[in-house]
Structure 1
């Protein structure tokens, strides 16, 4: 039984190490600000946001063709 736990541990560790290597992480810094979204304008992703939404503004190099639309960041 002890051996099966070891196998499970090593297989799980291997899977986690393979998966975590495929994620690209970047750190960006900037200033936080607030703006009123109730003026009725659509954002770059084509939808109007509410003042309660958390929105991240990207520069044109990061925004690119819009592949970041509706993404979640931590």
Structure 2
């Protein structure tokens, strides 16, 4: 089975555009930029998941409202 994430995952070289000062600072501080980018993506995913958990009641209430009353734009759209 192919590993798609983690230290044993196959890596590809990519070019990215980033703030030069920030990149220089990461090199100066000895920060592994690739690992940092992976951690940033994991953090964003966790934030998205937590947002859904935190807002699930409101999402459910809105969906119930739309089921009962329709969407606010039902009378306005032409499709």
User: TM-score of the superposition, structure 1-length normalised?
Assistant: 0.31
Larger Rg: 2
TM-score, length-normalised on structure 2?
0.29
More helix by share: 2
Greater RCO (CA < 8 Å, at least 6 residues apart): 1
